[in-house]
C-alpha cells in the first residue's frame, strides 16, 4: 500500500497552487461531510455518533498533546497535535460521550438504514419554529431568523473522566487545537495520518498548514453566501489570518474592495502585509487594498471604530483572553444599522474570548417585532457552530455569555435545511433562511473537528498524487 507524505513546505506548495474551482470542490465535499455529521447520516460514516472521542494528555513539561480521531465510510484519520498549556497540570482527559443537545434530534429510519430525519415533515415542524422579522419600510434592513429546538434549558456540562474516574480540577478542560497566548503563531504543531477502510495508511500530512486551511474553508462556507462583502476586517496576523484572507479574496475577490488587518504587534501585521504583497501572491490579491493597524497606534480606538463600522465581515483569528473590540461597536444603534458576518475561531478555553459576551447575549435575545424609525437589524436568536457538543464545552464566547444549546445551530444543520427545502414544500422557509444568511447578522463560532482534517486531507492527498507533489513510499 503506497503512502503519500506531505511536509509543511510541500503542503504549502500544493495549497498555494490550488485554483478557485479546486478550492470550491474541496469546500463542497467538506460541506457535505459536515451536513452528514449533523443529520446523522451513517451511510457516509460522517455521523457524529460514528466519530471517536478525542483525548488529551498533559505531560510534566506542561505541553498538552491532543488526539483527534475521525472516520468516514471509506477512511479513518487521526490528528495528533501539541501545544504549550502552562495552566494545565499533568494528567489525561477524554471527551465526554454525552449529547449536550439533550434530545434525539436525528433518528434512524429503520434497521440498517441511515440515521437521519425521519421525514421531511419532521424538518417542516422544526422549521415552523423559525422566527422571521424584517422592516418592510426599510429597503436595506436585514432579515432575522431564529432556530430553536424543544430541548429547553441546557443540562449541566458533563465532567471529563478517564476510565469513569473524574479528572482533577487542575487538568485543562479544553480539547481544542491551539497553542497558548503569546506564541508566534496560532497554528498547532503536529500531523494528520489517513487510513483506508483496511486501516492501512495512505497519507501523512503536516498539520501546521492544514489546520488553518480547513478552518478557513469552513468559515467561508457562510461567507460565500453573503450579498455584500466590500470591507473585511481580520484580527490576527498568523497562518489562520493568512488563509482566511486568501480564501476570502479568491472566492469573493470581485466584491471585496478592502481588507484591514488588526494585530497587537504591528511588526507581525506588517510581516503579513509583505507576504500578501509578494510577487507570488499577485495572482489572487487582485485590486484589493490591504492595510494594517495595531493597538500601538495613537489613533487606534478611532481607526478600530471606523473599521468595524464599515466592516461587512469580521474574521477573529487570535487566541485572545479578552474581547478584541468593545461590544458597543456592534450593539449600539449605529452598530446595528447593518448585518455582518462575524467568525470567531481563535479562542479554545472557557476563560478565553474574542467576542464580548454582550455581543452574543444580544444576538440570541429575540425582541418582539415592531417598527423602528431608524434602520435596525433584528437579531437572529442563534449562534452558528461547527459542533454543538464541542462548542458548548470549549468556546469561551458561548460559555461566558451563558448561551444555551437551544440557541446554537450547527452549520451542517443549516446545510441540511437548505437541501431539504429544495425538494419539499419548505420553499418559503428556505427563502427566509437564505435572506438571513445573505444579509442578516450571522455569528459563527468554530472549534474544529478531526473530521474536517480527514475530509480535507484526503482530497489534498489525491491532488498531490496527480501533481507529483510530496514523497511517496510505494510499499509501506
Q: What is the per-residue pLDDT across 416-432, written as a single tens digit (0 to 9) for each?
A: 876 665 555 556 667 78
Residues 6 or more apart whose Cβ sits within 8 Å of residue 344:
316, 354, 355, 397, 443, 444, 445, 446
Query: Residue 172: is its pLDDT beyond 90?
Result: no
C-alpha cell at 187: 497554528
C-alpha cell at 250: 479568491
Q: What is the mean pLDDT of the chain?
A: 80
**Structure-derived torsion over alpha carbons of residues 243, 245, 251, 257, reported in degrees to the nearest 10:** -170
Q: What is the per-residue pLDDT across 237-285, written as a single tens digit (0 to 9) for each?
A: 999 999 999 999 999 989 999 999 999 999 999 999 999 999 999 999 9
DSSP H/E element including 232: strand 231-235
What domains does the chain contain, in order, with CATH numbers? 3-97+205-369+376-471 (3.40.50.720)
For residues 260 and 233, the answer to whether their CB atoms sit within 8 Å is yes
| Bridge partner residues of 69 (DSSP) | 78
Residue 407 backbone phi and psi in degrees, to 5: -110, 15
Number of residues in the chain:
476
Query: Residue 376: is its pLDDT beyond 90?
Result: no
Q: What is the pLDDT of residue 296?
A: 84
State the number of CA atoms in the 13 A half-sphere of 321 facing the CB.
6
| Number of Cβ atoms within 10 Å of the Cβ of 110 | 8
User: What is the C-alpha to C-alpha distance for residues 61 and 82, in angstroms, rounded to an integer?
Assistant: 12
User: What is the C-alpha to C-alpha distance for residues 335 and 51, in angstroms, rounded to an integer?
Assistant: 40
Q: What is the pLDDT of residue 241?
A: 97
Distance, C-alpha 436 to centroid of its chain: 18
Query: Residue 101: is its pLDDT beyond 90?
Result: no
Query: Residue 386: is its pLDDT beyond 60?
Result: yes
Reference 447, options 403, 407, 397; nearest CA is: 397
Q: Mean pLDDT over residues 124-130, rounded?
A: 40
User: What is the C-alpha to C-alpha distance for residues 239 and 230, in angstroms, rounded to an integer?
Assistant: 22
Q: Give pTM, 2 decimals.
A: 0.83
Query: Residue 114: is its pLDDT beyond 90?
Result: no
Amino acid at each position: 500500500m503506497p503512502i503519500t507524505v506531505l511536509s509543511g513546505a510541500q503542503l504549502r506548495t500544493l495549497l498555494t497552487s490550488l485554483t478557485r474551482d479546486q478550492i470550491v470542490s474541496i469546500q463542497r465535499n467538506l460541506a457535505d461531510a459536515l451536513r452528514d455529521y449533523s443529520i446523522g447520516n451513517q451511510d457516509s460514516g460522517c455521523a457524529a455518533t460514528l466519530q471517536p472521542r478525542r483525548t488529551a494528555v498533559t505531560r510534566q513539561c506542561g505541553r498538552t498533546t491532543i488526539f483527534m480521531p475521525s472516520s468516514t465510510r471509506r477512511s479513518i484519520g487521526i490528528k495528533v497535535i501539541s501545544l504549550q498549556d502552562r495552566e494545565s497540570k499533568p494528567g489525561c482527559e477524554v471527551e465526554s460521550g454525552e449529547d449536550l443537545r439533550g434530545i434525539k434530534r436525528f433518528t434512524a429510519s429503520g434497521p440498517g438504514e441511515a440515521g437521519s430525519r425521519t421525514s421531511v415533515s419532521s424538518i417542516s415542524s422544526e422549521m415552523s419554529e423559525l422566527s422571521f422579522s424584517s422592516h418592510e419600510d426599510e429597503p436595506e434592513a436585514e432579515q432575522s431568523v431564529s432556530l430553536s429546538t424543544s430541548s429547553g434549558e441546557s443540562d449541566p456540562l458533563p465532567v471529563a473522566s478517564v476510565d469513569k474516574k473524574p479528572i482533577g480540577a487542575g487538568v485543562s478542560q479544553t480539547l481544542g487545537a491551539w497553542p497558548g497566548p503569546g506564541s508566534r503563531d496560532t497554528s498547532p504543531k503536529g500531523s494528520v495520518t489517513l487510513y483506508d477502510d483496511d486501516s492501512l495508511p495512505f497519507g501523512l500530512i503536516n498539520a501546521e498548514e492544514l489546520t488553518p486551511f480547513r478552518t478557513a474553508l469552513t468559515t467561508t462556507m457562510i461567507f460565500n453566501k453573503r450579498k455584500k462583502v466590500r470591507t473585511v476586517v481580520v484580527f490576527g496576523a498568523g497562518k489562520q489570518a493568512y488563509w482566511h484572507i486568501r480564501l476570502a479574496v479568491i472566492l469573493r475577490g470581485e466584491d471585496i474592495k478592502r481588507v484591514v488587518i488588526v494585530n497587537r504587534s504591528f511588526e507581525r501585521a506588517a510581516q503579513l502585509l509583505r507576504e500578501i504583497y509578494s510577487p507570488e501572491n499577485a495572482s489572487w490579491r487582485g485590486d484589493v487594498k490591504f492595510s494594517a493597524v495595531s493597538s500601538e497606534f495613537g489613533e487606534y480606538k478611532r481607526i478600530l471604530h471606523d473599521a468595524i463600522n464599515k466592516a461587512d465581515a469580521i474574521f477573529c483569528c487570535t487566541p485572545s483572553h479578552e474581547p478584541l473590540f468593545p461590544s458597543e461597536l456592534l450593539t449600539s444603534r449605529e452598530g446595528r444599522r447593518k448585518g455582518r458576518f462575524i467568525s470567531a475561531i481563535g479562542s479554545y478555553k472557557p476563560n478565553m474570548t474574542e467576542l464580548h459576551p454582550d455581543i452574543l447575549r444580544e444576538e440570541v435575545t429575540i425582541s418582539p417585532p415592531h417598527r423602528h424609525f431608524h434602520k435596525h437589524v433584528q437579531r437572529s436568536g442563534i449562534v452558528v457552530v461547527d459542533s454543538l457538543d464541542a462548542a458548548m464545552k470549549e468556546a469561551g464566547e458561548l460559555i461566558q455569555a451563558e448561551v444555551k444549546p437551544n440557541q446554537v445551530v450547527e452549520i451542517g444543520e443549516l446545510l441540511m435545511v437548505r437541501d431539504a427545502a429544495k425538494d419539499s414544500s419548505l420553499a418559503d422557509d428556505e427563502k427566509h433562511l437564505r435572506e438571513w444568511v445573505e444579509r442578516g447578522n450571522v455569528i459563527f463560532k468554530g472549534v474544529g473537528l478531526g473530521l474536517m482534517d480527514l475530509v480535507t486531507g484526503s482530497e489534498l492527498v489525491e491532488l498531490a498524487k496527480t501533481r507529483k507533489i510530496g514523497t511517496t513510499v510505494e510499499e509501506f
